[in-house]
Amino acid sequence: MIQKIDGKDLAEKLLLELKGKPKPKKILAAVLVGDNPASISFLKQKEKIAHELGVDFRLYQFNKPEQLTNDFLRAEVGKISHQKSIGGVLVQLPLPTSLNRHYVLNAVPREKDVDVLGERALGAYYANRNPVLPTVVSTVQRVLEFVEFDVSHKKIAVVGLGFLVGQPIATYLMARASDLYLLDQGFDPAILKECDLVISCVGRTGLIQPSALKEGAGVIDFGYSFLGGKIKGDLEVDDPALSKLSFYTPTPGGTGPILVTQLFRNFYLLNPYDTTTLE
């Protein structure tokens, strides 16, 4: 029987774990550039979780992005990051196209990079030396632990190899999966028929058709896009063949809530006040 993964339920379980830990005394800072509705919505979710945990969450918003330069924003993010009272910094993406996200993200010190998006934190992660994992990676871990899926003897496909999602997940799986297919634009859909697990990170509605997948396969869906005013994932959930899957994460309500709580877990881990008891 197919299992629809309730991301909200998994997120609540992680929140309960965090509530049992000593709360960080430092501030979690969020940087928002402009007034992108989706970005504001994501930040409200993070603010809600912070309130639930009693974490001091501060928003630094920069309006009129068309007037901002890369150097100015990088300097401002650096100033925020280097305040001793701040224990974690996130830059809400996407940034306006006029700004260089890598240049700005690199202003966040590795020890405060809760998203693991700056070059120093990512470089340490790729070298297996970072104290926290990218939230997309720990979200995959959480889902696979829940469904008791052992990657070591499975064929896995990562569809979409972008900087934010696909690349960190692919790196994590390279040393763990029996067979790993890294698929980007123009891939042959027939490959998916061989895979026990498909992790999709594209953001194209209906890209993954259950009818094209292996019987009993699982799908972890990070992709999202808007269709008719509604948020949709890469997986086509209206396909009758969906029932042949063993599990999948829906959109919304799948990977999203888990990602947010994993970010707060990283915040706890990056603060020396209370990290010794978090495994």
Question: Per the domain annotation, does 5 fall within a domain?
Answer: no
- DSSP letters, 197-212, are EEEE-S--TT-B-GGG
Instruction: Tell me the average pLDDT of the chain.
Output: 95
Question: Per the domain annotation, does 235 fall within a domain?
Answer: yes
Choosing from 87, 107, 132, the residue where a domain stops is: 132
Residue 103 has pLDDT above 50, yes or no: yes
Question: Per the domain annotation, does 14 fall within a domain?
Answer: no
* Rounded average pLDDT over 92-119: 97
Confidence category of residue 230, pLDDT binned at 50, 70, 90: confident
Question: Per the domain annotation, does 11 fall within a domain?
Answer: no
Q: How many CA atoms does the CB half-sphere of 236 hold within 13 Å? A: 12
- For a pLDDT cut of 70, what percent of the chain falls above it? 97
Question: How confident is the model over 24-36, as pLDDT tens digits?
Answer: 999 999 999 999 9
Cα gap 38→132, rounded to integer Å: 26
CATH code, 41: 3.40.50.10860
pLDDT at 63: 93
Residue 276 has pLDDT above 50, yes or no: no
pLDDT at 38: 85
CATH code, 142: 3.40.50.720
What range does the domain containing 107 cover? 20-132
Task: Write down the pTM of the prediction.
Answer: 0.94
DSSP letter assigned to residue 99: S
Cα gap 211→189, rounded to integer Å: 11
- Structural domain total, the chain: 2
Q: How many Cβ atoms from other residues are within 10 Å of residue 94's Cβ? A: 13
Question: How confident is the model over 178-209, as pLDDT tens digits?
Answer: 999 999 988 999 999 999 999 999 999 999 99
Question: How confident is the model over 28-76, as pLDDT tens digits?
Answer: 999 999 999 889 989 999 999 999 999 999 999 999 999 999 999 999 9
Exposed/middle/buried for residue 4 (C-beta within 10 Å: 0-12, 13-18, 19+) = middle
pLDDT at 273: 64
